[in-house]
Structures are given as C-alpha cells and as structure tokens.
Amino acid sequence: MRGTHDILPDEFPRFDNVVATAREVAALYGFREMATPIFEVTEVFARTSGETSDIVSKQMYSFEDKGGDALTLRPEYTAGICRAFITHGLQQQTPFKIFAHGPMFRYERPQKGRYRQFHQIDIEVIGAPEPACDVEVICVGADILDRLGVLDKCVLEINSLGDPESRAVHRKVLVDYFSAHRARLSEDSLGRLEKNPLRIFDSKDEGDRSLLGEAPLLSEYLTPAARDFFSAVQQGLQDSGVAFNVNPHLVRGLDYYTHTAFEFLTSELGAQSAVLAGGRYDGLIEQLGGTPTPGIGWAAGIERLAMLAEFAEAADYPVAIVPLGPAAERRALTLARQLRAAGIVTDLAYRGNLKRRMQRAGKIGAAYAVLIGDNELTRNRATVKDMASGEQEEVSLNDLVDYFGRDAEHRIADLMSSLED
C-alpha cells in the first residue's frame, strides 16, 4: 500500500537500536515510559493541532466508528500524552517526565524516511516552567543523537516564540504587513492570515517565501521577560556544551506554543530536513480543558534516525542442531530447549537432508553445527563442527550445554580471530 513500509528482519535491528538507545538515554535523565492509544477522539487532535493546520485539514486519518464516534489515528504523541495527564489526574506528579515511542499516521506525500504510517520517539515534560527544563529536554535529544552517531551530521536551530504578550503585539504587526501584500499570498496563506498568520513562515509557496525577508520577526517584539527566558536557555545550552544557531524564522504557528522552539536539521537525507523537533507548549493543557500547566517536548522519526545512525549489528553466533532421522529429531527438540534455557542461541532446521541442513547453518551464520544421527545417539554423543575452521570433535550429549556455555567468550574470540585471518 502506498505510503506504508514493512520493517523486515534485516532492517529491524537498526530500527530497534534507535528505540533502545533513546530509552536508555531518557532513563538517565529520569524519564519514565508510557504509551497512549493509537486512536483518540478526533477532538483531541483537532483542538490541539488547530483547525486550519495541515495536519487537521489534510493529513489526519479520521473515521466514524460503529457507535458514531469521530475517531482519528494518532498523528503525533503530545496531544495524547497531555490528554492522559488530565484524564488520570497526574498533576501531583509534576514534573511529569515521559518517554514514548510508537506508530503515527499522516496522509502526506511519502518521502525518504517518512511514510504515511511512520514511527517516532517522543519526550515530554509537563509541569516545569523553568528555562532549565528547556535546556535539559534539548540535551536529551542531543545525547540520543550523539549515541546514535548522528549529532555531528545535524545542526541545532533554536528560536523564541515569546510569551502571550509578545505574540499579541507581533500578530497585529504581522497581519498589517501581510495584508499589504495580499495579492502575492497563496490561497493557503490567505486563510492563515486571519486565523494563524505566524504559520505563513512555514509556507513552501515561492510567492509567500518572497515576502518573508521583510516580514517583521517575533524576536523584535519580545517582552523583557521573554528575552530573559531565551537568554537563559541559550546560556544553559552553552554551559552544557550543546552548539546551536538562532534562527529567527523558526516558528510554531499555534497559540499555545511559547518561548523555545528548536529543530535538529540534517542534509544527509537530501534536502535539509528535521530529524528531531519540538518546543514549549505552555497553553496546551488548558486548551484541552485542564488546569493551566506548562509543558515542553520533542519528537523524532525512527525511520529517519535508523537511516542516519551508525550501527554494527551484533552477531548471534548461533548453534545449529542438525538431526538426521526421526529419533535424532526428537532428541534435538530436547537439546534445543536445554541450550536456549542456558542462553545459547540455537537454530533447529525442520526438514532437509544433511547437505541442505548444513547449507542453512552456513546461511544463518552459525558458529557451530551439532550433528546427531543414529550412530551418535547409540553412543549418547554428538559431532560438533566448527563452521569457520571445519574442525570437528565429539561431545557427550549430556555435556553440550557446558561445552557451549563454558568459555563462550573465548570461543567467540577465537572464531572472530579466525574470520579476520
């Protein structure tokens, strides 16, 4: 199906590496993991993403269920986590620090590393208004990208969206400016002009973009409090050793966004694109019907990170049991269970003659093949073949677990040495 992607076994270790790395780094910062439903009542996303946003107007997968309720497949994580924060009365747990990951759904043009069903890792902190929280949230992202070997391929851009007072003054000036150039605005931006003028900065239309160079910037209208907040964030990033550029054109159009907005951008995937982006959303909880509560978070696409990340798949060096004959196949089932219980990766072929089963052992990269036939069974022994050297030796069936378990690191080291030679 267009816009969907099967994550096949050869790809999955790279995908899983992103999630495992993010989970590990988030835990170092004290984040706990949670998950929300893949679908929510449509209003959760419509209220938080804005009726005029592309997500709501063009990209959401919405449907009516058999009970007549309007539901939407999750296009992003933040709204659902904030909804859960309100639903479960978690105000006493602030700062509520959450790590999450899972599939998202948006009907948009498929791009490199971005599908209509895609996956994200997500970080949220609810209930912390201090600029130090913004710094820490950005640092979590930087550390995850660093662990993945991606950070040096990215540039961090930040901006201040100010406080509500800053936004109100800037909005009036912005509307006046774009209204004077209505004839050059795209149809989409004409609609944004009345409801969400800041979103014109996100436009890809060439006519719209030609106007941005002279458009009044929000940074010119920050209140003293907003300037101090942004200065504290910049100082905190400098103290933390996180490099950044201030981009005054980086915006978030929705009214509940305040203060810090940020993106880690890369050009490694073709056109410059964000691999991790977020911002502070101090008005979101209130918009969802909760008590005014500050929040900040970010999301990153797992598929894109998997494409960029440095990754060396760990070899399993499995044992392949090669039974020949009905009696040996029965005994092989027992042996396989014993080896796996001891933590030894074990493959058991279900069919084929000796040649085909040995071919499978080679194909899966088995370090050893354990051959059992009628002759071996009568002597309660197995022939163990070192697949790298071709050397064979007989081992008692009762001693196989100890044989592979004892000095396993030395056996693997010897195998690696032989492969390098």
What mean pLDDT do residues 90-96 have?
A: 95
In a domain, 136, yes or no: yes
Side-chain-facing half-sphere of 127: CA atoms under 13 Å: 16
| Range picked from 81-85, 360-364, 375-379 for highest mean pLDDT | 81-85
CATH of the domain at 60: 3.30.930.10
What mean pLDDT do residues 327-349 have?
A: 91
Domain that holds residue 398: 319-420
Q: Give yes or no: residues 230 and 375 share one domain.
A: no
Q: Which of 284, 308, 332 is the last residue of a domain?
A: 308
Q: Give yes or no: residues 156 and 43 share one domain.
A: yes
pTM of the complete model:
0.85
In a domain, 175, yes or no: no
Q: State the DSSP H helix or E strand holding residue 260, giving kind and residue range, or none if neither.
A: strand 258-266
Considering just the CA atoms, what is the radius of gyration of the chain in Å?
Answer: 28
Q: Give yes or no: residues 372 and 303 share one domain.
A: no
The pLDDT score that the predictor gives to residue 115 is 84
Q: State the DSSP H helix or E strand holding residue 20, giving kind and residue range, or none if neither.
A: helix 12-28
What mean pLDDT do residues 283-290 have?
A: 92
The pLDDT score that the predictor gives to residue 83 is 96
- For the chain, give the mean pLDDT: 89
Task: Kindly report, residue by residue over 232-267, the tens digit of the pLDDT.
Answer: 999 999 999 999 999 998 988 677 889 999 999 998
Sign of the Cα torsion 52, 56, 58, 63 reads negative
Task: Please confirm whether the linkage preceding 95 is cis (ω < 30° from 0).
Answer: yes
Q: What is the DSSP string of 82-108?
A: HHHHHHTTGGGG-SEEEEEEEEEE--S
Q: Which of 249, 273, 308 is the last residue of a domain?
A: 308
In a domain, 327, yes or no: yes
Task: Kindly report, residue by residue over 37-56, the tens digit of the pLDDT.
Answer: 999 999 898 876 655 455 55
Q: Which of 288, 308, 328 is the last residue of a domain?
A: 308
| Tally of domains in the chain | 2
Task: Kindly report, residue by residue over 368-416, the tens digit of the pLDDT.
Answer: 999 999 989 999 999 999 998 999 999 999 999 999 886 445 544 554 4
Q: What residues contact 355, with CB distance under 8 A and at least 6 apart?
A: none
Does position 323 have pLDDT exceeding 50, yes or no?
yes
Q: Give yes or no: residues 276 and 416 share one domain.
A: no
Q: Give yes or no: residues 303 and 323 share one domain.
A: no
User: Quick count: other Cβ atoms within 10 Å of Cβ 372?
Assistant: 23
Direct distance between the N- and C-terminal alpha carbons of the chain, in angstroms, rounded to an integer: 46
